Amino acid sequence: MPYFSLKLAIIIFCTLFFTQVVLAASEIDRQTYGTVYHDVTSTQFQIKGGVGDPAVGRSTSSNYIYDHGLVMEFPVMTITIDPTVNFGEILPDIPTFVSSSVYVTMPGSFSGYNLSVKREDPTSTLDMITNQVNDFPDYTSWNPSGSGNATTTPGNNLSFRVKQTGTTSNFNSAWWGSDDTILNAKYGGFPAINSQFMQCLTCNWGTTVTVIDYRASAPLDQKSGSYDGVITITALANI
C-alpha cells in the first residue's frame, strides 16, 4: 500500500454589513429670564406633531426655538473568528473533525443578525498547494431553502455544519440535525455563492457564538499532498 499523506487547511475571511439607524430628533431651546424657575411663555406658538410635518425644520417665537431633524447613528457591530482551520494530516476513508467559533457582538439597534458562507474557488474549496488542478472533493453545496439539504452521510469529502454544543446564537435542528451525535449530525458542502447558515432574530444585544464543525474524509484515490483554500463568512444585521 503506498504511503498516503494529506494535509488540509482552510483560510477564513470575514466580512461585516450593517446599516445606519435614522432617528427623528427634536430640541427646544428656551431663553431664560427673570427668576431661575420662571416659566417662559409665548403667544400664538404651538408645537404639533403629525405625518405631514417636514423632516427638517425650525420654528421660532419670542422665547422659543424648536428644531426638528434627523440624527444618523452608526451602531458598532463586530465579528471575530479564527483565521485558519487546520486538519493536519488525515487518512483516507476516516473522517476528521475540527471546530472553530464565530463571535458576533450586536449594539442593540437591530433585529438580530445572520451568518452566511461561501468558498472562494468556484470549482472546489481546497486545492493541492503544489498543483491546483488537483481538487479535494466537496459535498453537495449547502442550500438553506426549507429544511436545507444537509445529510448525516456526506461521504468522503469536505463538509461543515453548525454545532449545537457551544452555540449561543441559534441552532437550527432542521438544518443541522437534532444534536451533535454521529447518527444525527447533518453536514452540507461549502457553496460557491453566499448562503445563509445561521439566523438569529433575537441576537440583538451583546456577544453570541456560533460554533462551526468542519468534517474532512479523503477518498481512497485522493492524491497525497497538502491542500488549502479560502472561505468567507459574512455577518449581516437584520434591519
Phi and psi dihedrals of 238, rounded to 5? -85, 120
1 occurs within a structural domain: no
pLDDT-wise least confident of 3-7, 80-84, 148-152, 227-231:
3-7
Residues 104 and 54 in one domain: no
pTM as predicted: 0.76
Residues 231 and 129 in one domain: yes
117 occurs within a structural domain: yes
As for how many domains the chain has, the answer is 2
Instruction: State the Cα–Cα distance between residues 60 and 29, nearest whole angstrom.
Output: 10
Each residue's pLDDT tens digit, 6-58? 677 777 766 666 544 444 444 545 444 444 444 455 665 555 544 444 455 65
Residues 153 and 35 in one domain: no
Residues 64 and 85 in one domain: no
Judged by phi (left if over 0) then psi (alpha if -120 to 50, else beta), residue 155 lies in left
Residues 91 and 129 in one domain: yes
144 occurs within a structural domain: yes
Question: Given this model, what pLDDT does residue 64 score?
Answer: 60
89 occurs within a structural domain: yes
Q: Which of 78, 189, 107 is nearest to 144 (CA)?
A: 189
Question: Given this model, what pLDDT does residue 188 score?
Answer: 98
Residues 61 and 163 in one domain: no
Question: Given this model, what pLDDT does residue 77 score?
Answer: 86
Residues 94 and 154 in one domain: yes
In a 3-state reduction of DSSP, which class is residue 97?
strand
What residues form DSSP beta bridges with 69? 25
What is the largest distance, in Å, between two alpha-carbon atoms of the chain?
100
What is the extent of the structural domain holding 131?
6-19+76-237
Each residue's pLDDT tens digit, 159-188? 999 999 999 999 999 999 999 999 999 999
Instruction: State the Cα–Cα distance between residues 233 and 212, nearest whole angstrom.
Output: 11
Residue 87 has pLDDT above 70, yes or no: yes
Look at the chain and count its residues.
239
Residues 63 and 133 in one domain: no
Question: Given this model, what pLDDT does residue 107 score?
Answer: 87
Question: Given this model, what pLDDT does residue 209 score?
Answer: 97
Residues 97 and 133 in one domain: yes
Q: Give residue for cell 417636514.
A: 54
Residues 95 and 204 in one domain: yes
Residue predicted with more confidence, 151 or 55? 151
Question: Given this model, what pLDDT does residue 58 score?
Answer: 59
Question: Given this model, what pLDDT does residue 225 score?
Answer: 93
Each residue's pLDDT tens digit, 192-231? 999 999 999 999 999 999 999 999 999 999 999 999 999 9
**Domain end call among 73, 90, 114:** 73
Residues 198 and 105 in one domain: yes
